[in-house]
Structure 1
Amino acid sequence: MPILGPNQYGKAENRVVRITRHGATHHIKDLNVSVSLSGDMDEVHYSGSNANVLPTDTTKNTVYAFAKQYGIESAEQFGIHLARHFVTSQQPIRTARIRIEEYAWERIEHSGEGAHSFVRRGQETRLAQITYDGSAWEVVSGLKDLTVMNSTDSEFSGYVKDRYTTLPEAYDRILATDVSGRWRFNWTDDGHPTPDWDHSYEQVKRHMLEAFAQTYSLSLQQTLYQMGSRVIDHRDEIDEVRFSLPNKHHFLVDLEPFGLKNDNEVYVAADRPYGLIEATVLRDGCEAKIPADLTNL
């Protein structure tokens, strides 16, 4: 006899833009919010009874109403407000998971009156996932599509070779990747101060970038570990960091047929296939909880 397994439902990708006006100076928060709810939902699957179902349209409306009621201090704090509301206001709902992408804007400086012109900032997308089951919180922040490159201070040599190996050893190569990373906070709501989510995000990103820039890399794996270690060492509020780093290969172009010497100056950028390096860096004594597949987070 078939039985129902884990299930959830909600409204995905609610785009909400919140403008906060301080006189002529405006501030923008631009979010993509996905709500997923689970709990006592067996009957809607077995018999079609909607008695325990909060409509997904209601969850959408709640996102917009809360943007007005609470404002959007940060993606994490907004997600906490939403998750707490769904679990505490609806008895059949046992767990709420809120996933948020944030798109950053920076002010365009100009000589006119006011400060209300903006341009999309940076390439990366900020991420947050908040999960609440009525007693325990899990807050995971992150980013994706942060493209970085070192034009030197990178090698790849001494690796295993077999009959199919054709890759030459490289002692001065380009190292480039699109950083996709998530980090899990050790914050719980039992009397512990709430982290400054925005400041924490900026500091984690800074430590990642500094580690990438300052590591003489013998492998992308080594660089990944240094990036995660620096975050764990410098940010006490974080217990786990997980990265997915595609190796954006750059190969030296053979210019000898043209009578030219290529002294590590001209490369071809290959977008596929690519090496994919993934790993988790943990605070000693902590358990890994971030899924290996970051696309499912």
Structure 2
Amino acid sequence: MSESELSNADERTMNYGKEKVAVYRTYGTPLEDVRTIPESDFDGRNNILFGLELRMQVEGEEFLPSFSDGDNSMVVATDSMKNFVLHHAGEYDGATVEGFLHFVGSLFLETYSQVDAVQMSADELPFDEQPVPENDAFEASDLVFGVSHGESAFGELYLTRGDDGSAIENHRSGVTGIELVKVKDNSFVGYVDDEYTTLPERENRTLYVAMDIFWTYADSVDALGDDPQRYVPAEQVRDIVQTVFHELDVNSIQELIYQTGLRILERYPQLESVSFEANNRTWIKERDDLDGDGKVLREPPRPTGFQQFSMDRSDLDEEDTA
């Protein structure tokens, strides 16, 4: 989904904003009392270090003169937007990416009457607690963190003016940057074989998949995390896909996506839909004459395959009645 797709496609495209705003908050409000699921041991995060890279996009008919006549009298400078986000990061008392976006976006609408709508999106900048020796064992430090290069939470909200403050017109939550390798019990057979086919069937391949997963709630307020029991943490969704990958004899990435989507919808009845963007980065077999299941593999050449798929609760209902 493009950055502007949440807005009304039938209207004139007219917006501007600031992106790649990095903001860090120490000793934020912990995310606690999250409902646990069988696939994950995640039950909350301490938010000692809370980081985001944020994009803010504003819309309003009063900005037209800045485009048509060079009249900037209604324009809030994008540098001011950046400062607005950084300042109010110190006032946010919630615990989630989506909650922060809603807090700042709502304040912006309240502050600037010429803004009709604001679209806020952010990628979490994750950090890992580092293990340090403590009492003859290793424990997670609450002072020293490592920069994580793994998956991260994502949030996106499209806010307009409502009767009582801001209104969430559309939203999307997610986890991005998942990369998983399963060393065996993956096949790819039975596809179209014609004069253009050069790929051999593989009964047992090492499968390397990269994946972004997004979801929407039936009630958008649940995305904010004010009720932790109804909030879906990115960490749990990540754990679901790796659990399904472990359990399933995968015949295609498409099958992995579908079965993961069913599991997500089953675990979270508060969700309305789930969607996937996946990329096949499977290594190429160089040798398979080693003992047991051993192989030597190399990086795949470009181009690479990708998959996009969306599901809603009707897919789960069909499985239940099958």
TM range (shorter): 0.7 to 0.9
Number of the residue aligned with 2:73: 51
Q: Does 1:203 align with 2:236?
A: yes
CA RMSD of aligned residues (A): 3.0
The aligned amino acid for 2:179 is T
Number of the residue aligned with 2:312: 282
Number of the residue aligned with 1:215: 248
Distance 1:70 1:279 in 2: 34
Matches within 5 A, 1:13-92: 13-20=20-27, 27-40=48-61, 41-71=63-93, 73-92=95-114
Distance 2:287 2:240 in 1: 37
User: In structure 2, the residue corresponding to 1:163 is in which secondary structure?
Assistant: coil
Number of the residue aligned with 1:290: none
Note if contact 2:17-2:57 (Cα within 8 Å) is conserved in structure 1. Answer: yes
The aligned amino acid for 2:306 is L
More displaced stretch, 165-174 vs 207-216: 207-216
Matches within 5 A, 1:95-134: 95-110=117-132, 115-121=142-148, 123-134=150-161
Q: Does 1:163 align with 2:195?
A: yes
Note if contact 2:184-2:205 (Cα within 8 Å) is conserved in structure 1. Answer: yes
The aligned amino acid for 1:49 is D
> Shift in Å at residue 77 of structure 1?
0.7
Do the aligned partners of residues 187 and 271 (structure 1) sit closer, same or farther apart at CA in structure 2, a change above 3 Å counting?
A: farther
Q: Cα deviation per residue 1:12-47 (whole Å; 9 max; x = unaligned)?
A: 11111111289xx99111111111101122111111
More displaced stretch, 196-205 vs 157-166: 196-205
Q: Cα deviation per residue 1:67-101 (whole Å; 9 max; x = unaligned)?
A: 11225622111101011112233222111111111
Matches within 5 A, 1:178-197: 178-189=210-221, 194-196=226-228
Q: Does 1:247 align with 2:280?
A: yes
Note if contact 1:16-1:32 (Cα within 8 Å) is conserved in structure 2. Answer: yes
User: In structure 2, the residue corresponding to 1:157 is in which secondary structure?
Assistant: coil
The aligned amino acid for 2:311 is V
More displaced stretch, 222-231 vs 244-253: 244-253
> Shift in Å at residue 231 of structure 1?
0.8
> Shift in Å at residue 122 of structure 1?
5.3
User: In structure 1, the residue corresponding to 2:86 is in which secondary structure?
Assistant: helix
Unaligned runs of 5+ in 1: 286-297
User: In structure 2, the residue corresponding to 1:280 is in which secondary structure?
Assistant: strand
> Shift in Å at residue 61 of structure 1?
1.1
> Shift in Å at residue 263 of structure 1?
5.7
Q: Cα deviation per residue 1:175-227 (whole Å; 9 max; x = unaligned)?
A: 2111122112222349x984438753222222222222222111111111111
Distance 1:103 1:152 in 2: 32
> Shift in Å at residue 155 of structure 1?
1.0
2:205 pairs with one of 151, 158, 173: 173
Q: Larger relative contact order (C-alpha < 8 A, sep ≥ 6)?
A: 2
Do the aligned partners of residues 249 and 67 (structure 1) sit closer, same or farther apart at CA in structure 2, a change above 3 Å counting?
A: same
Distance 1:26 1:237 in 2: 24
The alignment-based identity, stated in percent, is: 23
User: In structure 1, the residue corresponding to 2:98 is in which secondary structure?
Assistant: helix
The aligned amino acid for 2:305 is G
The alignment of Structure 1 onto Structure 2 pairs a total of residues equal to 276
> Shift in Å at residue 271 of structure 1?
4.9
The aligned amino acid for 2:286 is V
Number of the residue aligned with 2:36: none
Q: Does 1:272 align with 2:294?
A: no
**Which ranges of 4 or more aligned residues in structure 1 deviate by more than 4 Å?**
260-264
The aligned amino acid for 1:28 is L
> Shift in Å at residue 165 of structure 1?
1.1
The aligned amino acid for 1:222 is E
Note if contact 1:17-1:29 (Cα within 8 Å) is conserved in structure 2. Answer: yes
Do the aligned partners of residues 122 and 230 (structure 1) sit closer, same or farther apart at CA in structure 2, a change above 3 Å counting?
A: farther
Task: Normalising by structure 1, report the TM-score.
Answer: 0.82
Number of the residue aligned with 2:175: 143
Distance 1:174 1:254 in 2: 12
Task: Normalising by structure 2, report the TM-score.
Answer: 0.77
Do the aligned partners of residues 8 and 17 (structure 1) sit closer, same or farther apart at CA in structure 2, a change above 3 Å counting?
A: same
Note if contact 1:105-1:118 (Cα within 8 Å) is conserved in structure 2. Answer: yes
> Shift in Å at residue 264 of structure 1?
5.4
Note if contact 2:286-2:297 (Cα within 8 Å) is conserved in structure 1. Answer: yes
